[in-house]
Structure 1
Amino acid sequence: MLKSDVVVLGAGIVGVSVALHLQAKGRKVTLLDRRAPGEETSYGNAGLIERASVVPYSFPRDLLVLARYALNHNVDAHYDPLFAPKIAPWLFRFWYHSQPERLKQISKELLPLIQNSLSEHKALIAAAGMEHLIREVGWIEVFRKEESHAKAIAEAKEIYAPHGLKFDILDAAALKAREPHLKDVVVGGVHWLDPASVRDPSALVKGYADLFVKRGGTFAIGDARTLEAEGNGYRFETRDGPATADQAVIALGPWANDVYGGFGYDFPLAVKRGYHMHYAPVGNAVLGHTLLDVDKGFLLAPMNKGVRLTTGVEFADRDAPPSPIQLQRAEPVAKELFPLGDHVDPEPWMGRRPCLPDMKPVIGPAPRHKGLWFAFGHNHHGLTLGPVTGRILAEMIAGETPFIDPAPYGADRF
């Protein structure tokens, strides 16, 4: 029977990072997933290590904006009307935590994670030999309206500059110089210089997982829902039979509730679904940076596979069939911005973002079960925060003082 010091449930960026950091502490670790590493939520994100995101995505406060969302015709957000009554209580809590003073405090509590996100990635990137996937060119917000551009410039100077973040303000000509193949629908941009971009997020996670196995870790295929307490430890099933571990980490992103619910925990975990499709550029067009079209609400990212168009948020049941609506709305407006050609993928990819209403992840021990640990709920920033989460949790499990105070991320806040 396979025996480990720790089993980490979930082989996305968070789980793989936790496993690597525990391994570095001398722990014998099993990494368990139903699929190969990096093939769920970690597969389909925007590919940004978002060092500049010091303010989390919050609930809109403008009544006109809310009315527009309620009509359900937007590119950047869509909801299933039948799902609306179920998600409404969570949205109310999200709105509550998005009030300006609370958002300011939440941003302050998230800041240490964001500030250390790129440096923690770089350590793993170097160890795993994944430098070929990383481009330190930042990313660019682009604007179609003068008023939204002016608002973004003011926020960059007032909110982000005090944190030492570097950015360039671009008029239409300067933006065109950096992205020559953009069409003439934009009036300017803000180029955030600190973040890094990843040309294949799934390959990065697989590279980290390969490093874990190379260093002696065990990757096992199995169903995380089989986890149960047994004696002073935990038992679970793998494809090759039963296994045990002294401690267990739930790092299952949007599926975390499938496991922690069995232990009697109930967190306000919701899922924001999203989609992507890869396109071949038309002719000799080249996209040099990841672009967020702020006024329309979609993102274009240069990937190894092509130009990835990623959508905003869809509120629907986690396991409901995919809906084509958001990509159908996003594709024509994206083609107004950049010359996208044929689809590269046979069908759209759908992913699920694990979100908590206070916009902070859960990182730390389970309050009522010795040896059970949580690392989930990273909202829109799982790729960004995976390695820093792994380091904090490994330090906690090892009985060390974490290099970042984990108190704001504790499970006991709910």
Structure 2
Amino acid sequence: MNYDCIVLGAGIVGVSSALQLQARGRSVCLIDKLAPGEGTSFGNAGLIERSSVIPYGFPREFDKLIRYALNNQSDVRYDFSYLPKITPWLASYWWHSSPKRLAQAAVEMWPLLQRCVTEHDKWITLANAQDLVRAKGWIEVFRETLSFEHAKCDLDELGFYQLNYDVLNTEQLLVREPTLKPIVKGGIHWLDPKTVTDPSQLAKRYAQLFVKLGGTLLNGDAQRLKQKNNGWALQTDEQLLESDNVVVALGFNSPELVSRFGYKIPLAVKRGYHKHYRVEADHVLQQPICDHLAGFILAPMTNGIRLTTGAEFTDPNLPAKDIQINRAEAIARTLYPLGEAVESTPWLGRRPCINDMRPVIGKAPKAKGLWVNFGHAHHGLTLGPISGRLLADLMTEDKPFTDPAPYSIQRFT
């Protein structure tokens, strides 16, 4: 079977890339070993996150470094045995996280974040997925007065982005979220984002739309991709697929594939967990809650309240560990009356994080017809459709809606 393009990876980024190319009249085959939305796209906090405009940089404050060095926090943990392997990446991440470079990263990511909600809205409507999406934003909650005061001061630095938010004192916060316990000192209600009650199902709805519009969705192993004289070939169990173009949208597995063609991408995995908890009728959260200090999110989902964790640095291939989810749960119970756990073990996901906090989107010119769209870190769900749009603009030689240079894979050559 011949196609204009083969897209490798059926997470939210790959599915969105396939949809955007299809909308421009290209014949597209979408390939994954798993069903759509069953990889890392399965387990995020469900935020279409237009408010987190400053990338998650490496901490530079001395008190934070000491706190993380003790390795007893819920937002970040690491395995000591893994440190020698990941230290070079962490050092580069730290370098890119200087105030000047972090500010530049924020400015260069803004064209994507600025349009993330409106781009999703288009596909949500076409995929008939309105039942999965809420337009209530999310609330950042503070359990310490000092950190709340610092956060309010930091708001002044965000004027460029023209974000919409409400600053809430304790009483106002408890009016908006009566189920929270009164230990809270205040909150910031970010109003621009939308939230999704089942991120995996959203990816599946997008994939169903892709198929309905004539796209081909197949099970297959991306590692079987082969370069031919005039394009690309991939053998599935059923048939041989051929195309002039191939898009690598395999999340944290992408660097292994593109390394065959001369690219060494400084990507590391931040592992993250989630677990669901039952909700009593009088304890329903109105919108997701993020604990500012502990780094977890409580999000109302189809299966209950989903507790998601921050980052864990360890071998990506090791089985799930319950250390971080247990730490987060203990703090969450002081903030909100969590019911009993729905699952006995936490779900584990692997966020693909590039050291300069920007994804790679566009042409990989060392191999003709090779394109990339991966490395979205914490913003895979957020940026799936808009990064797919930019990729499709470049592949079809439309005028891109923004300068693609900050996301070019050429920055690593």
Does TM, scored on the shorter chain, surpass 0.5? yes
Q: String of CA shifts for 1:6-45, please: whole Å, max 9, x gaps.
A: 0000000100000001001111100000000000111100
Note if contact 2:11-2:41 (Cα within 8 Å) is conserved in structure 1: yes
In structure 2, stretches of 5+ residues that fail to align are none
- The residue correspondences of 1:212-291 to structure 2 (distance < 5 A) are 212-282=210-280, 284-291=282-289
Q: String of CA shifts for 1:21-76, please: whole Å, max 9, x gaps.
A: 10011111000000000001111001000011211111101112111111111111
In structure 1, distance between residues paired with 2:3 and 2:343 = 39
Q: String of CA shifts for 1:146-198, please: whole Å, max 9, x gaps.
A: 11001111112x12233211110000000000110101221100000000000
Q: Helix, strand or coil: the match of 1:343? A: coil
Q: 1:368 aligns with which of 366, 369, 375?
A: 366
* Alpha-carbon offset, residue 240 of structure 1: 1.2
Q: Greater shift after overlay, 261-270 or 111-120?
A: 261-270
In structure 2, distance between residues paired with 1:142 and 1:393 = 36
Q: Helix, strand or coil: the match of 2:377? A: coil
The equivalent of 1:43 in structure 2 is 42
Q: Helix, strand or coil: the match of 1:340? A: coil
Q: Greater shift after overlay, 55-64 or 29-38?
A: 55-64
1:310 aligns with 2:308: yes
TM-score normalized by the length of structure 2: 0.98
Q: Helix, strand or coil: the match of 2:146? A: helix
The equivalent of 1:3 in structure 2 is 2
In structure 2, distance between residues paired with 1:263 and 1:319 = 24
In structure 2, distance between residues paired with 1:224 and 1:218 = 15
- The residue correspondences of 1:73-152 to structure 2 (distance < 5 A) are 73-152=72-151
TM-score normalized by the length of structure 1: 0.98
Q: Helix, strand or coil: the match of 1:51? A: coil
The AA in structure 2 aligned to 1:130 is: A
The equivalent of 1:392 in structure 2 is 390
The AA in structure 2 aligned to 1:133 is: L
The equivalent of 1:205 in structure 2 is 203
Q: String of CA shifts for 1:100-122, please: whole Å, max 9, x gaps.
A: 01111111110100001111000
Note if contact 2:262-2:366 (Cα within 8 Å) is conserved in structure 1: no
The equivalent of 1:61 in structure 2 is 60
The equivalent of 1:344 in structure 2 is 342
In structure 1, distance between residues paired with 2:173 and 2:90 = 36
In structure 1, distance between residues paired with 2:117 and 2:76 = 28
* Alpha-carbon offset, residue 262 of structure 1: 2.1
The equivalent of 1:325 in structure 2 is 323
In structure 2, distance between residues paired with 1:203 and 1:355 = 24
In structure 2, distance between residues paired with 1:215 and 1:320 = 39
The equivalent of 1:14 in structure 2 is 13
The equivalent of 2:357 in structure 1 is 359
In structure 1, distance between residues paired with 2:183 and 2:116 = 33
* Alpha-carbon offset, residue 282 of structure 1: 4.1
The AA in structure 2 aligned to 1:256 is: S
Q: String of CA shifts for 1:187-228, please: whole Å, max 9, x gaps.
A: 100000000000000000000000000000000100001111
The AA in structure 2 aligned to 1:36 is: A
Q: Greater shift after overlay, 190-199 or 230-239?
A: 230-239
The AA in structure 2 aligned to 1:199 is: T
Q: Helix, strand or coil: the match of 1:58? A: coil
The equivalent of 2:180 in structure 1 is 182
Q: How large is the RMSD of aligned CA atoms in angstroms?
A: 1.0
In structure 2, distance between residues paired with 1:81 and 1:15 = 34
1:402 aligns with 2:385: no
Q: Helix, strand or coil: the match of 2:81? A: coil
- Point out 4+ residue stretches in structure 1 off by more than 6 angstroms: none
In structure 2, distance between residues paired with 1:383 and 1:263 = 28
Q: Helix, strand or coil: the match of 1:57? A: coil
In structure 1, stretches of 5+ residues that fail to align are none
In structure 2, distance between residues paired with 1:329 and 1:346 = 15
* Alpha-carbon offset, residue 401 of structure 1: 1.6
* Alpha-carbon offset, residue 259 of structure 1: 1.2
Note if contact 1:46-1:301 (Cα within 8 Å) is conserved in structure 2: yes
In structure 2, distance between residues paired with 1:375 and 1:296 = 31
Q: Greater shift after overlay, 159-168 or 371-380?
A: 159-168
The AA in structure 2 aligned to 1:165 is: L
In structure 1, distance between residues paired with 2:292 and 2:312 = 17
* Alpha-carbon offset, residue 258 of structure 1: 2.5
* Alpha-carbon offset, residue 345 of structure 1: 2.2
Amino-acid identity (%): 52
* Alpha-carbon offset, residue 99 of structure 1: 0.3
Q: Helix, strand or coil: the match of 1:106? A: helix
Q: Greater shift after overlay, 277-286 or 251-260?
A: 277-286
The AA in structure 1 aligned to 2:162 is: G
* Alpha-carbon offset, residue 283 of structure 1: 5.5
Note if contact 1:220-1:239 (Cα within 8 Å) is conserved in structure 2: no
Q: Helix, strand or coil: the match of 2:403? A: coil
Q: Greater shift after overlay, 381-390 or 322-331?
A: 322-331
In structure 2, distance between residues paired with 1:106 and 1:331 = 32
In structure 1, distance between residues paired with 2:157 and 2:31 = 41
Q: Helix, strand or coil: the match of 1:75? A: coil
In structure 2, distance between residues paired with 1:228 and 1:362 = 21
